Amino acid sequence: MKQIVIVGGSHGVGKALLHRLLSDGNYGVINISRGEVPAHERLEHHVCDVMQGFPQLNIQSCDGLVYCPGSINLKPFHRLSLSDFQDDLNLNYLGAVRAIQALIGPLKRSKNASVVLFSTVAATQGMPFHSSIAGAKAAVEGLTRSLAAEYAANNIRFNCLAPSVTDTPLAEKLLSDDKRREASARRHPLNRFGQPDDLASMAEFLLSDKANWITGQVFGIDGGLSTLKLI
């Protein structure tokens, strides 16, 4: 049985992934979040705010780590304070660094470990009001490639998902009424915004042995937004 650590399995994409892994039957999951998750025989849950520290986990070996916490703090550049930038960097980038550092020993002891991080479509495609989150997520993409190279010899794979707008609590404000939801759907070549499972299915694949030869990649999971122009 593979042992996977999810940071942020209580909501959104992490929650969808948690359900997928537990219903598969071949995974034991350790979830870390501030909120609760329903009990399950193959689930260990730690209530923890990873901005305050990382819990001590009693595991020898870890086959996968998925770091989900992220932010959407969209403001004109002149209204973003330095501490806005620092907060985004702390949660999106340094939080991931902290989680990986806490688990690098157990990840090394796995025969075939996989780490999945999250960026955003706005890290590589310029979008107004995204300067803070774009910088923090670009740092996550750099971390992904750098650690993929550094730990290739240990057979630890590092990959990153770069979503566009996805219907989770994080994107609540962007999808708060029918007008916003329709406008958001229309911006995407596939004519819809994302659902948590669109991302969770890719994370599940990257954790599995089916993705054994994939590392150092950033995958746009975005309904075609980052690469297609229909008119």
DSSP-based three-state secondary structure for 28: strand
From the list 22-30, 149-157, 159-167, 181-189, the region that binds ligand NAP by CB under 6 A is 159-167
Which member of 64, 106, 163, 223 binds ligand NAP (CB under 6 A)? 163
CA distance 112 to 223: 30
| Residue 169 sits in the site that holds ligand NAP (CB under 6 A) | yes
Sheet of strand 217-221, all strands in order from the earlier edge strand to the far edge: 43-47, 27-33, 2-7, 64-67, 113-118, 156-163, 217-221
Task: List b or e across 97-117, with b for residues whose CB sees 16 or more CB atoms inside 10 angstroms.
Answer: ebbbebbbebbeebeebbbbb
Query: Taking the complex as a whole, how short is the minimal distance between the CB of residue 12 and ligand NAP, in angstroms?
Result: 2
When binding is defined by CB under 6 A, the residue of 22, 113, 165, 202 that contacts ligand NAP is: 165
Instruction: Tell the smallest beta-carbon distance from residue 9 to ligand NAP (Å).
Output: 6
CA–CA gap between residue 157 and residue 139 (Å, rounded): 18
DSSP label at residue 153 = G
- How far apart are alpha carbons 143 and 136 in whole angstroms? 11
User: Which of 2, 4, 5, 11 is close enough to bind ligand NAP by CB under 6 A?
Assistant: 11
Q: Which of 12, 28, 64, 106: binder of ligand NAP (CB under 6 A)?
A: 12
Least distance between ligand NAP and beta carbon 95 (Å): 7
CB 51 to ligand NAP: min, Å? 4
User: Which residue number, 33 or 213, has a Cβ lying nearer to ligand NAP?
Assistant: 33
Could you list the beta-strand ranges (E) of 111-221.
113-118, 156-163, 217-221
Residue with tokens 């999106």: 92
Name the residue nearer to ligand NAP (CB basis): 14 or 223. Answer: 14
> Stretches 4-12, 101-109, 182-190, 201-209: which one binds ligand NAP (CB under 6 A)?
4-12
One residue of 5, 50, 113, 160 binding ligand NAP per CB under 6 A:
50
Element (H, E) at 3: strand 2-7
Distance CA 140, CA 115 (A): 12
72 or 112: CB nearest ligand NAP: 72
Residues of this chain that interact with ligand NAP (CB under 6 A) are: 7-14, 32-35, 48-51, 68-70, 118, 120, 163, 165-166, 168-171
